[in-house]
Amino acid sequence: MDIFEMPGLLKKYMDAKWLRHEVLSNNIANVDTPNFKRSDVVFEDLLKNYLKENGSKLPLSTTNEKHIQNTWSMIDIKPKIIVQNDRTLRNDGNNVDIDKEMVELAENALSYNIIAEQVQRQFSLLRSAITEGRR
């Protein structure tokens, strides 16, 4: 994986974290809604599989329809929202545990900030390379 593809992967990861923040916030907002089932976002496993299968390969870029087509690209990695119907915590059918949701929301926010710092570092390296370290 080259330095130009890395910000794209980090952007996809940030987008997935943002979506997860929205889903967790929705779970928290519906903590008292009868029969509400919590949702979550699956992305990390998809990203791990992509990196395991394609991490050491250079991505293919096609500019002509006769070029060999890339069979899997970063565009294929998309977060998936899943609804968890497997358990119910209360008699009203709601399965949201507010304490768990708050912990996951804080964890998600922290990891989003870490990824944002990584993106900032990548662009800082590019800026330094472009300006040859001069300002």
pLDDT tens across 18-41, in order?
999 999 999 999 999 999 999 999
> What pLDDT score was predicted for residue 44?
86
> What is the tally of structural domains in the chain?
1
| Any domain includes 135 | no
Contact 72, 50 (CB under 8 A): yes
Q: What is the pLDDT of residues 68-119, one digit of tens each?
A: 665 555 566 789 999 998 877 788 989 999 999 999 999 999 999 998 898 8
Nearest Cα neighbor of 36 from 103, 81, 88 is 88
What is the band of 5 on the pLDDT scale with cuts at 50, 70, 90? low
Q: Is residue 112 part of a domain?
A: yes
The 3-state DSSP class for residue 101 equals helix
- Residues of the domain holding 26: 6-130
